[in-house]
A = this chain, B = another copy of it.
Amino acid sequence: MTGKRGYGEACPIAHSLDVIGDRWALLVVRELRLGPKRFSDLQAGLPGAGPNVLAQRLRDLEEGGVLRRRVLPPPASVRVYELTEWGAELEPVFGALARWGMRSPVPRTGRISADSMMLGLRTFFDPGDGPVWTATYEFRLDRDVYRLRVVDGRLTELARGDTAGLADVVVAGPRDGVGALLDGEGAPLDGGTAPEGVTVAGDRAALARLLAATDTRQGA
């Protein structure tokens, strides 16, 4: 049954690809970078995958030690998938792939999910020689809400869910508009010239610092 069409090499690179090299596999892991998700959440984040392929990948990745199934305690009692510690250590791989993909000579086409947009902030965050600051952010993209925290110039938290009103600055608007803002289009400091439909409430200077520290064109 299990085809196990591996490369049969002891090379650590080939071994990694044996585990996360199958089609959709690494994107399944990407969907879990912000925390556990249910089967249907994964489906929503991966349209075009198909439930059979998704179920197969989840089995493979569980057997490979990348993720585990867990049942949330009552009253939730819902089955979720979450990364193991080893699976979470794929972050540097995502970082390298994201940086490489950003340098692609051919333009990237298609949609981008809210999760991926917010994860871009974490991947490319690098204050460099800039100022050291502390702030709490809340992003509201259509229905998806995220909180982000920077402490002493270090990004300490990125998670789904709101800040319970504790945010220094709240950015809200359609996904594409916030995406344009994160890509550096429009200067949130200059009298509020944010992209269409995007509202910035609170400490605009804190937002400017975050955007300055998240230049997607940087190397490393």
Contacts and interface: CB of A to CB of B under 8 A. Distances in A.
Copies of the polypeptide in the assembly: 2
Contacts of A99: 12, 92
A121 B202 CA distance: 51
Interface stretch (A3-11, A54-62, A72-80, A192-200): A3-11
Contacts of A105: 65, 86
B27 A17 contact: yes
A97 B101 contact: no
Interface residues on A, range: 35 or more
A21 interface: yes
A92 B116 CA distance: 20
A102 B26 contact: no
Contacts of A39: none
Interface in A166-208: none
Contact of A11 (B48, B64, B113): B113
Contact of A103 (B89, B97, B98, B102): B89
Contacts of A103: 86, 89
Given A26-B13, A99-B92, A65 B7 contact: no
A21 B27 CA distance: 11
A13 B104 contact: no
A112 B11 CA distance: 5
| Most chain B beta-carbon contacts within 10 A, residue among A19, A89, A110 | A110
Given A13-B116, A92-B100, 18 more contacts: A8-B110, A9-B112, A10-B109, A10-B110, A10-B111, A10-B112, A11-B101, A11-B108, A12-B99, A12-B101, A12-B104, A14-B27, A15-B104, A19-B104, A21-B21, A64-B106, A89-B103, A93-B96
11 contacts: A7-B48, A8-B48, A8-B109, A8-B111, A9-B113, A12-B99, A13-B30, A14-B30, A65-B104, A89-B100, A93-B96
